Amino acid sequence: MARKMMIAGNWKMNGLLADGVALAQEIKVDVKAKKRNCEFVVCPPFTLLGAVKKALKGCRVALGAQDCHFEEKGAHTGDISPEMLLDCGCTYVILGHSERRADHGETSELVCKKAKAAYKAGLKTIICIGETLAQREKGETIDICSKQILESVPNDATAADTVIAYEPVWAIGTGKTPTAQDVEDVHAAVRKVLAKKLGRAQANKMRILYGGSVKPSNAKELLSLPDVDGGLIGGASLKAADFMAIADNAGC
């Protein structure tokens, strides 16, 4: 089953206007110069979405946000709705990132609610899952990831509107990564759970990204595995040269 590789950059809470626009422009120059056959997504902070959209005009790099509320509008101070994200040019929204689960107490039930709202508005989702170090050490990785998939992914999700990102919490920003075998084992297990939940056809088409300390030097090993369909890149997505080197090494 051919799945189009995706290289997505999660800029997290980084970048002022000038940095964000410069980074987007560098990515655009590279993507236009090379005939790359991957799907590229950049997910800047909310404040940069409009400017980055403008900077990316004319190239095939999609814009994503890092979170959304589940309501369309209303009295939710500080929140952003899926409709607002669509309105400023987003195609994707990352949901359930472990930093939101940890910093804002987001549960899988809430992630599922947000995903349904995102689909309703016409956005695609990148739904994140992953175990903590304590859970890994107790041998619970597959159970935790399976539970997060079952609870976070809406029952009507399809491969056309949903991408999964497996990000072991202990690998995020630490320089540590699971072995390639561990990554493949989790991705294969996740695909099995997706098949149970959504049917085999959707599961076989759905992309499952790996995220957590991906850099140019480990991209080939981690992103070329059979059930790995690309990467969700944090720190290394803030430098265009590293982000594009990851794409190169992943065969994009």
Residues belonging to the active site: 97, 167
Is there binding between residue 44 and ligand 13P (CB under 6 A)?
no
In whole angstroms, what is the distance from residue 94 CA to residue 68 CA?
A: 8
Q: Please list, residue by residue across 39-66, b when 16 or more beta carbons sit within 10 angstroms of its beta carbon and e when fewer do.
A: bbbbbbbbebbebbbebbeebebbbbbb
Q: Residue 140: helix, strand or coil by DSSP? A: coil
Q: Which of 36, 53, 69, 97 binds ligand 13P (CB under 6 A)?
A: 97
Is there binding between residue 102 and ligand 13P (CB under 6 A)?
no
Is there binding between residue 211 and ligand 13P (CB under 6 A)?
yes
Is there binding between residue 6 and ligand 13P (CB under 6 A)?
no
Task: Give yes or no for a contact between 178 and 130, defined as CB atoms under 8 angstroms apart.
Answer: no
Is there binding between residue 130 and ligand 13P (CB under 6 A)?
no
* DSSP annotation of 122: T
Q: Indicate if the alpha-carbon torsion angle 174, 180, 186, 187 is positive or negative.
A: positive
Instruction: Tell me, rounded to whole angstroms, the distance of Cα 76 from its chain centroid.
Output: 25
Shortest separation between residue 75's beta carbon and ligand 13P, angstroms: 30
Shortest separation between residue 22's beta carbon and ligand 13P, angstroms: 20
Contact map string, positions 148 to 187, toward ligand 13P, x by CB under 6 A: -------------------x----xx--------------
- What the block records as the tokens of 119 is 């689909």
Residues in touch with ligand 13P (CB under 6 A): 10, 97, 167, 172-173, 211-214, 232-236
